[in-house]
Amino acid sequence: MSNEAERPRVLEYPGNGFVITWEPARCRHAAECVRGLPRVFDNTRRPWIVTDGATADEVVTVVDRCPSYALGYRTADGRSRTAPDTVR
């Protein structure tokens, strides 16, 4: 089996000075993102993440609340959040 098959799917949503990442298989639907920044995260819309109008600081604050680490980010100033390694 190749490593490609084992790698989880991670979607990226670029914004102004940041990129939001989302790993659907990790998401537990706690909705911290939807409640915290509804103009960016709206699970009734497709795509459900739209970065227009959000600042990197707003994204960092809300994404840091994601308990499952399904959401992450990379910012132009070097901040990042990724899911911790898990043992399979």
The pLDDT of residue 8: 79
The pLDDT of residue 6: 66
The pLDDT of residue 62: 98
The pLDDT of residue 1: 46
Other C-beta atoms closer than 10 Å to the C-beta of 76 total 11
Sketch the domain layout of the chain as residue ranges: 3-80
Mean pLDDT of successive 10-residue stretches along the chain, which has 88 residues? 66 97 96 97 96 95 98 98 76
Positive/negative CA dihedral, 64, 66, 68, 73: negative
Omega of the bond leading into 47 within 30 degrees of 0 (cis): yes
3-80 has CATH 3.40.50.300 classification: no
